[in-house]
Amino acid sequence: MDIKTFYEKYIALIERRYNVYHELYPEYTDSWYVFTELQKEVIEAQDELKDNNKIYLEDELWDILWDYMVLLQLLQKEWKITSTESVFQRSLHKFSERINAKEQGILRDDVKKIQKKHLADEHNKLYWSK
């Protein structure tokens, strides 16, 4: 299965999850709750980080991916982010800039300072320039 098909199926499954849990378990559709669960999953994955433990580690890593994707969906529904895609696009842009800079011999901290400035400018323009 190609990554686009996988992504589409994964998002559809996450949407089904929301529809199933929304009324039965409303706390499962709260971003704060899912964020807390994501933190627990990271610790569980770290506990499985040992030799000859690929199956259990991969299982925990999938739990992290699942909770992260669920969190993004909930944050979008709560209007706290634009979309899952916008988060991915920002990540791609951010780390492309850092790797490109590193390849040109620019220090990581210098790039991070510039990125933080651009982020602050974008934030201020969105929320304070009205």
Q: Write the pLDDT tens digit of every residue in 55-99.
A: 999 999 999 999 999 999 999 999 999 999 999 999 999 999 999
Which residues, 6 or more positions from 67, have their beta carbon under 8 angstroms from its beta carbon? Answer: 34, 37, 38, 41
pLDDT at res. 29: 86
Report the alpha-carbon angle 17-19-22, nearest 5. 95
Asked whether 49 and 2 are in contact (CB, 8 A), the reply is no
Q: What is the rounded distance in angstroms from the CA atom of residue 3 to the CA atom of residue 18?
A: 22
pLDDT at res. 25: 84
